[in-house]
Amino acid sequence: MRGAGEATRARSLRASAARGAAMAEKRPPRPQGTALIYDEAMTRVRLLWDDPECAIEVPERLTSTYARLCQRGLAQRCVRLPVREATEEELEMVHSPEYVAVVKGTQAMSKKELQTLAQQYDAVYFHPSTFPCARMAVGATLQLVDAILTGAVGNGMALVRPPGHHSQRDAANGFCVFNNVAIAAEYAKRRHGLQRILIVDWDIHHGQGTQRIFENDPSVLYFSWHRYEHQSFWPRLQESDYNAVGQGPGRGFTINVPWNKIGMRNADYVSVFLHVLLPLAIEFDPEFVLVSAGFDSGIGDPEGQMEAMPECFAHLTLLLLPLARGRLCAVLEGGYHLRSLAECVCMTLQTLLGDPVPALSGDPAPCLSAVESIQNVRAAHARHWASLGHEDAGPVLTPSTQHPLLGAQPTAATDGPGPILDELLSCPPCFPCTGIGLAAPDSASSLHLPPTVLRERGGALSKEEAAACSRLDSAFTQDQTQAALGKLLALLEKILSGQVRAGIAATPTVAAAAIMALRRGLSFGSRSRLLCVAVGDLDIPEDLRDNGQILVFHIGGEERPEGTPSPRCICLGGPQATEPGNFRLALLSLILPVAYSFQPELVLLVLGPGYSLQGLDMELLTRLLQGPARGRMLVLLQDSEISLVEALAWALEGKALPSTLGPYLSASPKQALAITRLCRQLQPDWPMLQVSVN
Ligand code: Q9C
Ligand code: ZN
């Protein structure tokens, strides 16, 4: 393993224990609910005097968001948890008793006194209800943590005010009074004995409060992206830049992604998740994920000035769910454009509920400034994390932007969303939420499948298909085989026409079935794009390899002589390609960026003969590839692999992985080099592959 730093050493100590725990995990996976916590009591705090800076933090942030969740029917699908007020002892897990006493004192203060106290802090107001509300925001968060960590629910979201991530041990800051998420992390460590917690702070401001609380602590990995503009944006701290990586034993456990331009979009956000957050998060192997879920990073927000669409938050959530067996707790932070905030929260919650994600709209190319930030963070962390150890690009030498006072330049990436914003928000992307189809022999009836699974009964092959298949596979003459292929095509037809969202098909002749499915997919529409990810031995005919509508990934098949790779048929050959470390590197740095760049209508996942992908990696692949294709996926496997159907069906259904991904397994230097080279060669065709500017 390369780049062995504190991170690597700490992990090897617990490697064997974690492996034991993963083995003890019992299948079948049981469906677990999503919790929602909200209480009107938290709408009581409001600004009592004139202060333009604080005027955006209003009670309607909660009421209008909650109304939207009800209107969409999402709140009704959640498990409702009661709130409580955190105890002073709980507050003091993070804050000093002196500071808690100061906030407690605000209950009895006059407006004048409240105003005077607020002036001691940066961008804060107090209200006679601040203390009970802030305690309730913490208590609601802890209720959610308890529900998730005891297994009562799988994941959940807390709609709270005041927010928390700017709040520090001894200070209120940036509308935040108590640090809800930091206290939750500390509570999870002390009360639930957790050792590794990931905090993902996607709010558009730097959670400097959270960073300071954990900067020395290797048990909490803190990730934040934030509007920075070369330190000219609030809170204007040097410690928010990419080279602030944590202190002492916590070195490497703080990840800062500064945005040096406004107008960042979907592709910029997803790129950072794929190329920065996820590799490190998978290496860290968290037991629990806390999201500082601020939506001032969404389009329309007056603070963030970014352009990420609501559905982007569905994708960010989807990308986090494979971690920690899906034990994810989202806690509201900022978000000041009421309609955008409500839509973004809906997207997050519906993804937590397991619904398929809408298509990620817009240009899949990250902007230059975003790529520079990605390159800088990766360079700053390469020495701390083995998963970036193969990274050879240093930091950017001549950034494309500067501090606005140093050079006159337009800071916006392009024109802002302007008047089209209302229109963008008024037609939320809709998508079919229909069931999962299963085309399999009757032996599959003993499996523990989600209740939404529909069995495919029949379907006939065309004469041409029958003839073509008998040529491909001699076994095809058997009735059983013909029936299986007929069922598969009937299922595919239903997926293509939108009657069923996704499906699984088990056939005796998977290689022939895959080719037939690709041809049937092509004949469905001349503009449809099909992504085929094939694992194992499979021979894809020339005309399908070089077809403008089809993109093929062939993983772990026969090794071919190296040549110029085709952007339409990307091969990672040899059995080493499916080893977990190698495969996970390929998945994050190559397969997903290409898939997001290609924007397929349908993903065909093929487990060919001799495939050797770990069960968990198969589930990971199934979960994550649903992002680029709105959940539309057909999985093909050999009927002898019928036992896999169960895990795959739950993965398609949006349920959490049955175990954590386990201790980090590094890619072999040779394979890492092969993947990096492929990424560089394919980058002109698939823009989301880009991780450096040179
Ligand atoms: N125009 C949260 O989002 N004002 N806090 C910055 C820059 C303070 C934001 C002024 C913003 C605090 C939780
Ligand atoms: Zn914010």
Structural tokens at position 42 = 């938290």
Q: Which of 380, 400, 426 is the last residue of a domain?
A: 426
Same domain, 456 and 489: yes
Is 33 a member of any domain? Answer: no
pLDDT in the model for residue 554: 94
**Residue with CA nearest ligand 1 atom 3:** 334
pLDDT for 113-160, tens place per residue?
A: 999 999 999 999 999 999 999 999 999 999 999 999 999 999 999 999
Atom of ligand 1 nearest to the CA of 122: 8
Same domain, 318 and 438: no
Q: Return the closest-CA partner of residue 29 out of 447, 467, 587, 578.
A: 447
Residues annotated as catalytic are: 166
For 270, 300, 359, 366, the CA distances from 363, given in Å and listed in that order, are: 12, 18, 12, 8
Same domain, 415 and 437: no
Atom of ligand 1 nearest to the CA of 303: 1
> Among 80-84, 114-118, 273-277, 573-577, whose mean pLDDT is lowest?
573-577
Same domain, 286 and 419: yes
Question: Which ligand neighbours the alpha carbon of 333 most closely?
Answer: 1
Judge whether residue 592 has pLDDT over 70.
yes
Q: What's the sign of the alpha-carbon dihedral 678, 681, 686, 688?
A: positive
Is 193 a member of any domain? Answer: yes
CATH number of domain containing 142: 3.40.800.20
Q: Which of 426, 460, 489 is the last residue of a domain?
A: 426
Non-local (6+) Cβ contacts of 171 within 8 A are 99, 121, 209
pLDDT in the model for residue 659: 93
Judge whether residue 9 has pLDDT over 60.
no
pLDDT for 218-264, tens place per residue?
A: 999 999 999 999 999 999 999 999 999 999 999 999 999 999 999 99
Is 650 a member of any domain? Answer: yes
**Ligand 1 binding pocket mutation candidate from 166, 262, 332 (most atoms within 8 A of CB):** 166
Same domain, 409 and 341: yes
- Asked whether 334 lines ligand 1 (CB < 6 A), one says yes
Other residues' Cβ atoms within 10 Å of the Cβ of residue 234: 16
Cα separation, 405 vs 430, in Å, equals 44
What is the H or E stretch that residue 586 is in? helix 580-586
DSSP, res 274: I
Is 537 a member of any domain? Answer: yes
Helix axes 510-524, 463-472, angle to 10 degrees: 150
pLDDT in the model for residue 431: 57
Helix axes 644-652, 615-624, angle to 10 degrees: 30
Same domain, 143 and 253: yes
Is 517 a member of any domain? Answer: yes
Same domain, 411 and 505: no
Is 694 a member of any domain? Answer: no
Evaluate if pTM is beyond 0.85: yes
Is 284 a member of any domain? Answer: yes
Q: Return the closest-CA partner of residue 310 out of 31, 77, 72.
A: 72
Same domain, 400 and 381: yes
pLDDT in the model for residue 409: 55
Atom of ligand 1 nearest to the CA of 165: 13
Same domain, 415 and 507: no
Is residue 112 classed exposed, middle or buried when 0-12, 13-18 and 19+ CB atoms within 10 A define those classes? exposed
Domain residue limits at 528: 2-28+433-689
Is 46 a member of any domain? Answer: yes
Non-local (6+) Cβ contacts of 586 within 8 A are 555, 572, 577, 671, 675
**How many structural domains compose the chain?**
2
Other residues' Cβ atoms within 10 Å of the Cβ of residue 80: 10
Helix axes 615-624, 310-320, angle to 10 degrees: 180
> Among 122-131, 401-410, 425-434, whose mean pLDDT is lowest?
425-434
Q: What is the Cα 304 distance to its own chain's centre?
A: 20
Same domain, 369 and 515: no
Between 443 and 336, name the one with better pLDDT. Answer: 336
Judge whether residue 579 has pLDDT over 90.
yes
- Asked whether 333 lines ligand 1 (CB < 6 A), one says yes
Judge whether residue 66 has pLDDT over 50.
yes
**Residue with CA nearest ligand 1 atom 13:** 334
**Ligand 1 binding pocket mutation candidate from 205, 208, 225, 231 (most atoms within 8 A of CB):** 205
Q: Which of 395, 410, 426 is the last residue of a domain?
A: 426
Judge whether residue 19 has pLDDT over 50.
no
Q: How confident is the model at residue 3 (pLDDT cuts 50, 70, 90)?
A: very low
Q: How far is the CA of 53 from the centre of ligand 2 (A)?
A: 13
Question: Which ligand neighbours the alpha carbon of 297 most closely?
Answer: 2
Same domain, 445 and 403: no
Q: How far is the CA of 358 from the centre of ligand 2 (A)?
A: 25
- Asked whether 174 lines ligand 1 (CB < 6 A), one says yes
Same domain, 53 and 170: yes
